[in-house]
Amino acid sequence: MFEQGNVETLIVLQPIAVDTDSPDREGRLVIANGLLVAVLVRLAEPEHDNVGSWFFEVGFGRLQGKKAPTFLSLEDATRWLRRHLKPA
């Protein structure tokens, strides 16, 4: 669905505030070829191990239920998302 021939998936990160019932609020909707596939949230609560990094809050479709590490940057997150969106 996401990879057609050599055309790379277009990933758009759209800023959004997320209610996580914690200070972790700043988020990104991850839109791949026009479909919402995940929500990333920046860890802000000081007691997290990796404050400032990006957490894969939830995934849809192929990413549903996936466990991901936290990412130091949105570029790292996008690289991981791109890899896991590819057909198996």
Partner 1 sequence: MQQALTRKLESFEPLSEQARWALNGLTLKVRQVGARQDLIQEGDKPDNVLLILDGFACRYKMLPDGQRQIMALLVPGDFCDLNVFILDEMDHSIGTISTCQVVDIPRRAIDEITAHHTSIARAFWWCSLVDGAVLREWLVNMGGRAPGQRIAHLLCELLMRLEAVGRVTDNSYAFPMTQTEIAETMGLSDVHVNRTLRELRALGLIHLKGRVLTILDVERLKAFCSFAPNYLHLRNTRWGERRDLSWPGTAEA
Question: For binding to partner 1 (CB under 8 A), which residues are involved?
Answer: 20-22, 24, 43, 45, 47-49, 55, 67, 70
Nearer to partner 1, 15 or 49 (CB): 49
- Which residues sit opposite 32 in a β-bridge? 11, 35
Q: Minimal distance in Å, beta carbon 72 to partner 1? A: 15
Residue with tokens 């839109």: 31
How far apart, in whole angstroms, are the C-alpha atoms of residue 57 and residue 68?
9
Nearer to partner 1, 37 or 42 (CB): 42
How far apart, in whole angstroms, are the C-alpha atoms of residue 76 and residue 81?
9
Nearer to partner 1, 24 or 30 (CB): 24
